[in-house]
Amino acid sequence: MDVTVSDLCRNFGRVAALQGVSLAVDAGEFFAILGPSGAGKTTLLRIVAGIEHADSGSVRLGGQDVASLPVRARNTAMVFQTFALYPHLTTFENLAYPLREQRTPRAEIARRVNEVAEMLRLSHTLARKPGTLSGGEQQRCAIGRALIRRPRLLLLDEPLTNLDAKLRHDTRAEFKRLHRELGSTTIIYATPDQLEALSMGQRIGVLRAGRIVQVDTPDALYRTPGDDFVAGLVGDPPINLLPGTLRATHSGTRIDLPFMGIDAGPWHAVLDGFGAGTRLTVGLRPQAIRPVTAEPDGPAFTARVFLTEPLGDVTILDILAHGETRLRMVLPQEQAWRIAVDDTIDCTVDADQICLFAHETGTAIPRDGTAAGG
Ligand SMILES: Nc1ncnc2c1ncn2[C@@H]1O[C@H](COP(=O)(O)OP(=O)(O)O)[C@@H](O)[C@H]1O
Ligand SMILES: [Mg+2]
């Protein structure tokens, strides 16, 4: 079932929780809503589910305006961040509950409970009560209860937030499998965690203070963030955002950072209209900075290492470029093991990975030939 949300607004007193949100989610899509706490994710999902009303705007499910459609008729199920199961009922009875409410015949209930339990790997827990289940099993039971009515739209509101890190990792893979197995079920998944959004969402809508600021694939969101907010939200460790200034030189224009200069050539089409002295924000991904031993083929600088954080396969280095600008870089372990705190290293930047933003508005400045729509 496809979902079209048009110009939704919702105020709570003076708080504008949603300020004109429009989105189109395809039937069968796994769509992630990524935004920090307070961005309006829960409000948006609740309005789509029909358990909250909008002040203005519309929601269409499968092409039908649902303004006058009660929650039960929407073919939609929602799983909340705090998944409440009935503590005195077994997994079987928790899963069966929505079907019993619908007065489904007993044989059909047994068949569907077993089917959902198998899909969610809960079969071994059917006779047990929630108190004896692990966090992940309780979570899957809550999802099973949402799925048992075979909704065509599943709304998941931070379903992994209350699980520990290992379980979150495993459950991300489970959600992808579930989405594949459900086939045509549309999933809208709200999360403040960029890793969850990027690893599961086929597309991601970034929500900031009640507005959608970008809708894109994970790859496009990472490579061509629409503004410095999205750039800072997507990617781990976070992108380095640095103040730059546009300079004219005899051989063209250059962007000066406190510790190095960057050829402004790739952004010529847009920067051509800006005067020398224009302030910019330069985004350098930690993955785009690397140490050099030979002659660098990109912009280069010298830095002192002041913190190393080995994470197993990679190491995060905090460095001071030219003794003043703090940067983060990330290196594969086999390149990092030789580097110690207080070492001085020569670094270069992969020029293809540099992102540029207008200083005042934060809006991305596209590279020549990559402007939106082109
Ligand atoms: N029932 C409510 N009453 C008052 N303010 C609310 C209510 N629900 C949400 N808000 C406010 O609306 C904003 C968006 O909230 P929410 O949708 O819960 O965001 P998120 O789920 O992204 O954290 C927040 O500022 C929140 O405090
Ligand atoms: Mg929320």
Among the listed residues 321, 317, 339, the one whose alpha carbon sits nearest the alpha carbon of residue 330: 317
Check residues 140 and 128 and name the one with the higher pLDDT. Answer: 128
**Which of 19, 42, 43 to mutate for ligand 1's pocket (most ligand atoms within 8 Å of CB)?**
43
Average pLDDT of the segment spanning 65-85: 85
Q: How far does the centroid of ligand 1 lie from the alpha carbon of residue 65, in Å?
A: 24
Question: Which range in 135-144, 279-288, 335-344 is most confidently predicted, on average pLDDT?
Answer: 279-288
Nearest atom of ligand 1 to the alpha carbon of 157: 21
- Provide the pLDDT for residue 296: 67
Nearest alpha carbon, ligand 1 atom 16 = 40
pLDDT bucket at 74, cuts 50 / 70 / 90: confident
Find out whether the beta carbon of 10 lies less than 6 Å from any atom of ligand 1.
no
Nearest atom, ligand 1, residue 10 CA: 12
Residue nearest to atom 25 of ligand 1 (CA): 38
Do residues 105 and 25 share a domain? Answer: yes
pLDDT of residue 373: 46
62 and 175, same domain (yes or no): yes
Q: 194 and 60 in one domain?
A: yes
User: Is the sign of the CA dihedral 213, 217, 221, 225 positive or negative?
Assistant: negative
Do 241 and 283 meet the contact criterion of CB atoms below 8 Å apart? yes
User: What pLDDT score does 371 carry?
Assistant: 65
Task: Report the nearest-CA residue for atom 18 of ligand 1.
Answer: 42
Query: Same domain for 122 and 254?
Result: no
CA 326 – ligand 2 centroid, Å:
33
Question: What are the residue ranges of helices labelled H in the chain?
Answer: 41-49, 91-101, 106-119, 135-147, 165-182, 194-200, 218-223, 228-233, 268-271, 333-336
| Domain assignment of residue 221, yes or no | yes
Residue 368 lies in a domain: no
Which region among 109-123, 133-147, 292-306, 329-343 has the lowest average model confidence (pLDDT)? 292-306
Q: Could you tell me the distance, in angstroms and rounded to a whole number, from the CA of residue 192 to the centre of ligand 2?
A: 9
Stretch among 68-82, 135-149, 216-230, 321-335 having the lowest mean pLDDT: 68-82
Whether residue 82 has its Cβ less than 6 Å from ligand 1 = no
Atom of ligand 1 nearest to the CA of 37: 23
- Ligand 1: which atom is nearest the Cα of residue 46? 17
Please indicate, yes or no, if residue 371 is contained in any of the structural domains.
no
For residue range 137-183, list pLDDT tens digits in order: 998 899 899 889 889 999 999 988 877 787 788 788 888 888 998 88
Check residue 175 and give its pLDDT: 86
Q: pLDDT at position 79, please?
A: 87
Q: Which ligand is nearest to the CA of 81?
A: 2
Backbone angles phi, psi at 285, to 5 degrees: -65, 140
**What does the pLDDT read at residue 374?**
39
Angstrom distance (rounded) from CA 90 to CA 84? 13
332 lies in the same domain as 254: yes
Q: Is the peptide bond before 87 cis (omega within 30 degrees of 0)?
A: no
Residue 373 lies in a domain: no
Q: Answer whether 210 contacts ligand 1 (Cβ < 6 A).
A: no
The pLDDT of residue 70 is 84
Handedness of CA 46, 226, 242, 297 (dihedral sign): positive
Tell whether ligand 1 has an atom less than 6 A from the beta carbon of residue 237.
no
Q: Is the CB of 261 under 6 A from ligand 1?
A: no
Q: Which long-range contacts (CB under 8 A, 24 or more apart) does 143-146 make?
A: 143/79, 143/83, 143/178, 144/94, 144/95, 144/116, 144/117, 144/119, 144/120, 145/85, 145/94, 145/95, 145/97, 145/98, 146/77, 146/78, 146/79
Q: What is the mean pLDDT of the chain?
A: 92
Task: Give nearest CA residue, ligand 1 atom 27.
Answer: 38
Report which of 66, 62, 41 is spatially closest to residue 155, judged by C-alpha positions. 41
CA atoms within 13 A on the CB side of 30: 19
Asked if residue 215 and residue 78 are part of one domain, the reply reads: yes
The response to whether residue 35 sits with its C-beta less than 6 Å from ligand 1 reads yes
Same domain, 124 and 263: no
Structure tokens at 356: 């540029």
> Any idea what the CATH number is for the domain that residue 194 is in?
3.40.50.300
Residues 120 and 264 both lie in one domain: no
Cα distance between residue 276 and residue 296, in whole Å? 27
257 belongs to a structural domain: yes
Structure tokens given for 228: 């410095």
* pLDDT of amino acid 173: 84
Q: How far apart are CA 216 and CA 230, in angstroms?
A: 11
Our measurement of the distance from residue 172's CA atom to the centroid of its chain's CA atoms, rounded to an integer in Å, reads: 13
Q: Are residues 206 and 245 located together in one domain of the fold?
A: no
In total, how many domains does the chain have? 2
Distance CA 332, CA 367 (A): 28
pTM as predicted: 0.91
Mean pLDDT of 53-79: 90
203 to each of 114, 143, 222, 351, how far by Cα in Å?
32, 22, 12, 27
Are residue 117 and residue 87 in the same domain, yes or no?
yes
Sign of CA dihedral 171, 185, 79, 100: negative
Residue 367 placed within a domain: no
Last residue of a domain, one of 209, 233, 257: 233
Cβ atoms 284, 354 nearer than 8 A: yes
Residue at 370 is within a domain:
no
CATH of residue 353: 2.40.50.100
Ligand nearest to the CA of 13: 1
Report whether residue 15 contacts ligand 1, using a CB cutoff of 6 Å.
Answer: yes
Q: Among candidates 373, 75, 100, which has minimal Cα distance to 224?
A: 373
Tell which atom from ligand 1 comes closest to the C-alpha of 39.
22
Atom of ligand 1 nearest to the CA of 45: 17
Ligand closest to Cα of 52 equals: 1
Q: How far apart are the first and last CA of the chain?
A: 31
Identify whether 372 is part of a domain: no
Do residue 176 and residue 247 come from a single domain?
no
Percentage of the chain beyond pLDDT 70 is: 99
Q: Do 228 and 132 share a structural domain?
A: yes
Nearest CA to ligand 1 atom 12: 17
Q: Which structural domain, as residue segments, surrounds residue 296?
A: 240-358
Element (H, E) at 208: strand 203-208
pLDDT of residue 372: 56
The mean pLDDT value for 321-345 works out to 92
Rounded to whole angstroms, what are the CA distances from 342 to 33, 308, 320, 329, 333? 41, 10, 10, 15, 18
- Does the C-beta of 296 come closer than 6 Å to ligand 1? no
Q: What is the pLDDT of residue 68?
A: 82
